[in-house]
Amino acid sequence: MKKNVFKSKCKINKIGVTNDTLTGRGGMSLFVKYLSSVEIYPLLEEFFGDIRKSGKGLPVWNIFKQIFCWFYDGTSRHLNSFDQLRADEGYASVIENSQTEMVSSHQIKRFYKSFSWVCGGPFRKILRKMFIWRLRRENPEVIDLTLDTMVMDNDEAQKRYGVQPTYKKVKGFQPLQAIWNGKIVDAVFRGGKKHSNYGNTVVNMMRDLVRVIREEYSETVTIIVRLDSGFFDEKILQACDNLGVGFICTGKMYKGVKEYVGVQLEDQWVNYSNRVPERSINYPGYTKVSWLRYY
């Protein structure tokens, strides 16, 4: 699809001086430029273009653009605020839309209802494609991935369908996320009671990401996965070995660990300092009776 398909009718071409105040959200124009530069619009149109049932309506990518801008702006989290933005000529201009292109709250609600639970798959594919696009631009020699969960607190929400208790003593959700260079590159939406290492989600996510990296970026690049103690499980460490990737995993202070560290000689310790008073640390490996190997 040609790139000019995703150009707005009211594209900002130059910046000048004026005595008029058009909008208090001038920084939004830079965000709109960013969205265009990362080439996310073609991906959105590719995966979700079929949602548009009629050629008379707004293109899907433009609706997504307005939703992204709404989230980025953060002035309101109520959908009816789209009606206020629709009436703001200055806001429409700064996000490079004409007022006729601005969506109403009812259009947004209908748009949201077009998505079913199976749409999580296409969104994950978009995240991975954006990930590969960034890797090709930055060309890193080492890919450092972090896997973690994020508790979403829905205690104050009026509509809380599907919420579950979380370990942070709030009711909500707990998606699993893969993070690279401060950006989410894969995610699985999960219920609040799903702990870090629930089911096979972690292993499957690692396997899919490594496959995509090897096939679309580099077969030889070094991959390191960082995990906290919630993922301290032999099957995850074995999966890293089988995939040929390194891992850094926070362990747990089991009784055996304390006993092992307690009998180490002084020359087995090294000094370490990181914005805290210098301390001595030891680098023991670890295994459990039920584990097949020593890590």
The pLDDT tens digits for 122-179 are 999 999 999 999 999 999 999 999 999 998 888 887 777 788 888 888 888 889 999 9
CATH number at residue 233: 3.90.350.10
pLDDT at 146: 95
In a domain? residue 124: no
User: Total structural domains in the chain?
Assistant: 3
In a domain? residue 132: no
Whether residue 88 is found in the same domain as residue 150: no
Closest CA to 92 of 62, 55, 49: 62
Whether residue 191 is found in the same domain as residue 233: yes
Whether residue 46 is found in the same domain as residue 73: yes
Whether residue 155 is found in the same domain as residue 238: yes
Whether residue 261 is found in the same domain as residue 243: no
In a domain? residue 32: yes
In a domain? residue 246: yes
Closest CA to 76 of 41, 25, 123, 115: 25
Q: Please, what is the average pLDDT of the chain?
A: 85
Whether residue 234 is found in the same domain as residue 165: yes
Cα distance between residue 61 and residue 83, in whole Å:
19
In a domain? residue 153: yes
In a domain? residue 212: yes
In a domain? residue 130: no
Whole-prediction pTM: 0.79
Q: Among residues of the chain, what percentage have pLDDT more than 90? A: 45
One DSSP character per residue, the chain reads --GGGG--TT--------SS---S-TTHHHHHHHHHHTTHHHHHHHHHGGG---TTS--HHHHHHHHHHHHHH-S---TTHHHHHHT-HHHHHHTT--GGGPPPHHHHHHHHHT--GGGHHHHHHHHHHHHHHHHHHH--SEEEEEEEE--EE-TT-S--TT-EE-TTSSEEE--EEEEETTEEEEEE--BTT--TT-TTHHHHHHHHHHHHHHHHT-SS-EEEEEE-GGG--HHHHHHHHHHT-EEEE-----HHHHHHHHT--GGG-EEE-SSS--EEE-------TT-SS--
pLDDT at 161: 79
Q: How confident is the model at residue 245 (pLDDT cuts 50, 70, 90)?
A: very high
In a domain? residue 262: yes
* Residues in Cβ contact with 2 at an 8 Å cutoff, skipping those fewer than 6 apart: none
Whether residue 104 is found in the same domain as residue 182: no
Structural domain range at position 199: 140-252
